[in-house]
Chains A and B, each alone.
Chain A
């Protein structure tokens, strides 16, 4: 789905998220303006409490902004009610979380097809085949999550996020719980999804080497965007983070 007016898959316009009031006021997001290009892999980085997770949550319709606007494509999320937000998540977005990514009572295949099943849509068999092959889990499809390794579980989660061909996949520290080998597997897989299939991915991470897989890194501190890097290397990201004190 492309639009004529803009190439941004998602954007925030003067988006603020404020918790508490008075002395206890915390500005998790402070009038942020940011765009995320379609077909690109963007990483959001920043020290703890910088607002990077909050930014991801409001972009993904999991949380609402206090003021300003958030768009997925042309849709202003702040105008949607709970039910509509749920449908946007189900039909237009995909998610990969750090943990608790899979439903323990469903097997790998059922977990992958969960959003589609909830929407009552049959997966496209060819695309399913492609995704399954790319994730390299063809022989484990009938296994329950507790029979899969951590890396395999995250790969299933990524496969689930990709299977519905969402406009954007949001990944929140997808490799946070993994050893480096499994982390590499998952990140390469995400990278391939962008390169081979033009998938848009927005990922929050605090790991410089993970951020190096992205096309662009956005740095946050105190709820504001303070910098960005295009085509980053791990070393460059690491240097930049050091100056941020993260």
Chain B
């Protein structure tokens, strides 16, 4: 029996090779993702370890709040450092600070982009043994206008020791003399982040943390354990406001925080790998089904000779195991290569990852081989069962009759599964099911529609192809009938493409809706002439402008008003959220957030404005006091005004004055600065004057309303393109599936094709028949994919309505492009099968036995 299996494999090399590709690509993607993230994790774990190497204990504030931007911790008083140093058993202690500081290179351009890549860090230069920074040139900063920068920045910005550089921070841009250049351990930079290291007073000034530190790193004396040291410091300080942890725990916390971020990235990539494998499983299923059908006589003969059903099933499954294992192995190897490629892809979109040894964990090998083989075997289960049902008598029958089973059961099953999928999806989106329910729902919908597809494949493909006979005559009729003749086969081929197209279409609709929502909220809120924004975009706190910029621009003659807007995390009434801050005096001039009750322009330091929606949702009243926890401590602010354009309109639900912000936050970075010109000002003259101010801020970009909109949507497009690239894999696998099915069908139809050639069909006409059949299958998959995409997009957009996704937009042009592209891809998938069909030898085809 095993010999038969082996012969079966060798006898169908090409069809199995195509099946294998479907598995190989999926496994490669998955293995590549695992290898890449494992590699990144090891690199960053090492990095984190080296940052805290030598730290035996860490002193920090006990006050920590949960906000929409993550955990935020208060700073500790600088006086604590002196007290720590006096505690018995402490050998060395340094205060640390980490803040936004961006060095401007000798070419006038900023070094590093915190918005798209690694952060640009300002740090305290600590000369002791606790730091990982090593001077390679010059000396540490001794004066307050001196700075040490990392070697990578020095190289990029062409900066040498003794040069004067400008540094951007939340203070006005200032000049510093480069006193030295340092490496991070042996690396030129700390994992791609730029670093500017200052004296303690300078660092405190630049970060707005005068007299404070983020925390204090402590090294203990020889022979004192970390726990012992922590106990002594805790006792020695006897300060309920501070918390002392061991160096090990600090390292662990940092690693965990990073691992969590990486996990998100990992899951996102793995999701695409699973999609590819899911699509691939349809192709495996199809290949095995067709092969079993083609081998009916052979299997019947084996049964007649005494092979048991079990043996038949096992022989088909053994083929699946062999194919799956080989394909997964190839995928694993390809994946390791792909990890390098993915790293480059991430680099291309601004996510730089430092170099390190490629990590191939046993888990990667096991998961890769296991999943690849498992999916192949599972996909071959039904075909194997079908093979076992073949009766010995079938060996004697001349031709295989395709049994059209009752479709009622299938219809009911398909409807049930699809319905369950829709319910799970809606539960995930609108209920409390979460992202897992959404994913599972989408999976069930795909599966359900795939089950239903054979029922509707014939009428729908006939419908798609109705103009063909008129356009292409007999060639068209034949293509249409061929596509419709084996609905089950056409269906599972189209289903693979359907999934790919559904996801592409869905993401297109989703992105369009985001862009449309952005545009409408900008159109609505934008009342100024210009906005000054940072080049690139990222989460707040990572970068922005010193408030000095808005002040300077406001003083430009011809400018009526200029005001910055800031975003920050806060805990309001026990809920992690975020708020905006602006100068109340200019806010209503610069942006329209639809003021309702109260007077926004006179918002005081102890007051807050809340969107009307939030007021309604929470049942709050004007004049009510809200308990808010800021990083610097708790405070009660009174609701003094309401406005209409909240988060639902793409803005924010809470607004405080800049004055209040300065009390509760140490960071003072404006995310954007809005500028309104005087009505009679000469626009071009004033613009030149503003540009002159911006010369000191090389990270700033002046944009009018249209440019602002364009740059916002450009960011969405960038992410969209990345997702397209990742989804391309699933679509390619689906196209391989079309090629595979057509190829197998052609083998089946050899005599028919030979007959057509004999009675006068030209090779060109024959190729055309195959091509059109491919186009019909591709369009069938695309059409259904689009319907699902529309549904998924519509439901996701509506579930996110309160997150600022105000507009559902299905972009007709893009969706038509996808349709045309799919039809064209069908033509490409048909190239090889068509060529093969044209090569059929007429005599071979029409001779019998």
Contact A97 B843 (CB under 8 A): no
Q: How many residues of A contact B (CB 8 A)?
A: 32
Q: Kindly state the separation between the CA atoms of A197 and B225 in the bound complex, as whole angstroms.
A: 113
Q: Tell me, rounded to whole Å, the shortest Cβ–Cβ distance linking A103 to chain B.
A: 6
Contact B473 A120 (CB under 8 A): yes
Given contacts A63-B843, A119-B760, 12 further A-B contacts (CB under 8 A): A53-B847, A62-B843, A90-B761, A97-B755, A100-B848, A102-B755, A106-B478, A117-B473, A118-B474, A118-B759, A118-B760, A120-B473
Which residue of chain B lies nearest to A161 when distances are taken between CB atoms in the complex? B759
Q: Which of B527-551 contact A (CB under 8 A)?
A: none
Is B765 among interface residues, defined by CB-CB distance under 8 A? yes
Which A residues touch B756, using CB under 8 A?
A: 103, 114
A89 contact from B473, B751, B758, Cβ within 8 A? B758
Is B210 among interface residues, defined by CB-CB distance under 8 A? no
Contact A100 B474 (CB under 8 A): no
Q: Tell me, rounded to whole Å, the shortest Cβ–Cβ distance linking B62 to chain A.
A: 78
Which B residues touch A82, using CB under 8 A?
A: 763
Which residue of chain B lies nearest to A57 when distances are taken between CB atoms in the complex? B843
Which residue of chain B lies nearest to A100 when distances are taken between CB atoms in the complex? B751
Which B residues touch A73, using CB under 8 A?
A: none
Contact B759 A90 (CB under 8 A): yes
Q: Kindly state the separation between the CA atoms of A104 and B485 in the bound complex, as whole angstroms.
A: 9
A100-B752, A103-B755 known; A118-B481 Cβ under 8 A: no
Contact B760 A115 (CB under 8 A): yes
Q: Which of A79-95 contact B (CB under 8 A)?
A: 82-83, 86-87, 89-91, 94-95
Q: Kindly state the separation between the CA atoms of A186 and B613 in the bound complex, as whole angstroms.
A: 85
Q: Which of A110-167 contact B (CB under 8 A)?
A: 110, 114-115, 117-120, 160
Q: Tell me, rounded to whole Å, the shortest Cβ–Cβ distance linking A16 to chain B.
A: 17
Is B757 among interface residues, defined by CB-CB distance under 8 A? yes
Which A residues touch B755, using CB under 8 A?
A: 97, 100-103
22 contacts between A and B (CB under 8 A): A53-B847, A57-B843, A62-B846, A83-B763, A86-B763, A89-B758, A90-B760, A94-B759, A97-B755, A97-B846, A98-B848, A102-B755, A103-B478, A103-B755, A103-B756, A105-B481, A110-B474, A115-B760, A117-B473, A118-B759, A118-B762, A120-B473
Q: Kindly state the separation between the CA atoms of A172 and B755 in the bound complex, as whole angstroms.
A: 13
A110-B477, A118-B765, A120-B473 known; A100-B759 Cβ under 8 A: no
Q: Tell me, rounded to whole Å, the shortest Cβ–Cβ distance linking A197 to chain B.
A: 20
Is B577 among interface residues, defined by CB-CB distance under 8 A? no
Which B residues touch A105, using CB under 8 A?
A: 477-478, 481-482, 485
Which residue of chain A lies nearest to B759 when distances are taken between CB atoms in the complex? A115
Is B842 among interface residues, defined by CB-CB distance under 8 A? yes
Which B residues touch A62, using CB under 8 A?
A: 758, 842-843, 846
Q: Kindly state the separation between the CA atoms of A117 and B762 in the bound complex, as whole angstroms.
A: 12
Contact B763 A87 (CB under 8 A): no
Which B residues touch A118, using CB under 8 A?
A: 473-475, 759-762, 765
Q: Tell me, rounded to whole Å, the shortest Cβ–Cβ distance linking A128 to chain B.
A: 16
Contact A114 B481 (CB under 8 A): no
Q: Kindly state the separation between the CA atoms of A118 and B477 in the bound complex, as whole angstroms.
A: 11
Is A229 among interface residues, defined by CB-CB distance under 8 A? no
Is A178 among interface residues, defined by CB-CB distance under 8 A? no
Q: Tell me, rounded to whole Å, the shortest Cβ–Cβ distance linking A110 to chain B.
A: 7
Q: Kindly state the separation between the CA atoms of A114 and B481 in the bound complex, as whole angstroms.
A: 14
| Binary contact readout A47-60 vs B (1 if CB under 8 angstroms, 0 otherwise) | 00000010001000
Contact B762 A86 (CB under 8 A): yes
Interface of B is mostly: helix
| Binary contact readout B671-689 vs A (1 if CB under 8 angstroms, 0 otherwise) | 0000000000000000000
Contact B846 A89 (CB under 8 A): no
Which residue of chain A lies nearest to B757 when distances are taken between CB atoms in the complex? A86
Which residue of chain A lies nearest to B485 when distances are taken between CB atoms in the complex? A105
Q: Kindly state the separation between the CA atoms of A63 and B758 in the bound complex, as whole angstroms.
A: 11
Which B residues touch A83, using CB under 8 A?
A: 762-763
Which A residues touch B474, using CB under 8 A?
A: 110, 114, 117-118
Considering the complex of A and B, which 6 residue pairs feature the smallest CB-CB distances, nearest first?
A: A90-B760, A105-B481, A117-B474, A100-B751, A115-B760, A115-B759
Q: Tell me, rounded to whole Å, the shortest Cβ–Cβ distance linking A32 to chain B.
A: 18
Max chain A C-beta neighbours (<10 A), residue from B485, B754, B762: B762
| Binary contact readout B808-849 vs A (1 if CB under 8 angstroms, 0 otherwise) | 000000000000000000000000000000000011011110
Q: Kindly state the separation between the CA atoms of A172 and B477 in the bound complex, as whole angstroms.
A: 28
Q: Which of B454-470 contact A (CB under 8 A)?
A: none
Contact B848 A89 (CB under 8 A): no
Q: Tell me, rounded to whole Å, the shortest Cβ–Cβ distance linking A176 to chain B.
A: 9
Which A residues touch B477, using CB under 8 A?
A: 105-106, 110
Which B residues touch A110, using CB under 8 A?
A: 474, 477
Which A residues touch B752, using CB under 8 A?
A: 100, 103-104
Is A8 among interface residues, defined by CB-CB distance under 8 A? no
Which B residues touch A101, using CB under 8 A?
A: 755
Q: Kindly state the separation between the CA atoms of A154 and B475 in the bound complex, as whole angstroms.
A: 23
Is A194 among interface residues, defined by CB-CB distance under 8 A? no
Which B residues touch A86, using CB under 8 A?
A: 757, 760-763
Is A99 among interface residues, defined by CB-CB distance under 8 A? yes
| Binary contact readout B181-209 vs A (1 if CB under 8 angstroms, 0 otherwise) | 00000000000000000000000000000
Q: Kindly state the separation between the CA atoms of A102 and B755 in the bound complex, as whole angstroms.
A: 8
Which B residues touch A103, using CB under 8 A?
A: 478, 752, 755-756
Q: Tell me, rounded to whole Å, the shortest Cβ–Cβ distance linking B461 to chain A.
A: 13
Q: Kindly state the separation between the CA atoms of A34 and B481 in the bound complex, as whole angstroms.
A: 43
Which A residues touch B842, using CB under 8 A?
A: 62
A87 contact from B473, B482, B760, B845, Cβ within 8 A? B760
Q: Kindly state the separation between the CA atoms of A87 and B760 in the bound complex, as whole angstroms.
A: 6
Q: Which of B756-778 contact A (CB under 8 A)?
A: 756-763, 765
Which A residues touch B765, using CB under 8 A?
A: 118
Which residue of chain B lies nearest to A63 when distances are taken between CB atoms in the complex? B843
Q: Kindly state the separation between the CA atoms of A117 and B470 in the bound complex, as whole angstroms.
A: 12
Which residue of chain B lies nearest to A102 when distances are taken between CB atoms in the complex? B755
Q: Tell me, rounded to whole Å, the shortest Cβ–Cβ distance linking B647 to chain A.
A: 58
Q: Tell me, rounded to whole Å, the shortest Cβ–Cβ distance linking B23 to chain A.
A: 32
Which residue of chain B lies nearest to A94 when distances are taken between CB atoms in the complex? B759
Q: Kindly state the separation between the CA atoms of A114 and B761 in the bound complex, as whole angstroms.
A: 9
Which B residues touch A100, using CB under 8 A?
A: 751-752, 754-755, 845-846, 848
Q: Kindly state the separation between the CA atoms of A117 and B485 in the bound complex, as whole angstroms.
A: 21
Q: Tell me, rounded to whole Å, the shortest Cβ–Cβ distance linking A120 to chain B.
A: 6
Which B residues touch A94, using CB under 8 A?
A: 759
Which B residues touch A53, using CB under 8 A?
A: 847
A106 contact from B473, B481, B751, B846, Cβ within 8 A? B481
| Binary contact readout B465-508 vs A (1 if CB under 8 angstroms, 0 otherwise) | 00000000111011001100100000000000000000000000
Which residue of chain B lies nearest to A144 when distances are taken between CB atoms in the complex? B481
Which A residues touch B475, using CB under 8 A?
A: 118
Contact B473 A114 (CB under 8 A): no
Which residue of chain A lies nearest to B764 when distances are taken between CB atoms in the complex? A83
Q: Kindly state the separation between the CA atoms of A225 and B751 in the bound complex, as whole angstroms.
A: 30
Contact B758 A95 (CB under 8 A): yes
Contact A160 B759 (CB under 8 A): yes
Which A residues touch B762, using CB under 8 A?
A: 83, 86-87, 90, 118
Contact A114 B759 (CB under 8 A): yes
Q: Kindly state the separation between the CA atoms of A106 and B485 in the bound complex, as whole angstroms.
A: 11
Q: Which of B349-397 contact A (CB under 8 A)?
A: none
A97-B755, A100-B751 known; A91-B760 Cβ under 8 A: yes
Q: Kindly state the separation between the CA atoms of A119 and B475 in the bound complex, as whole angstroms.
A: 11
Q: Kindly state the separation between the CA atoms of A66 and B761 in the bound complex, as whole angstroms.
A: 25
Max chain A C-beta neighbours (<10 A), residue from B474, B478, B758, B846: B758
Which B residues touch A91, using CB under 8 A?
A: 760
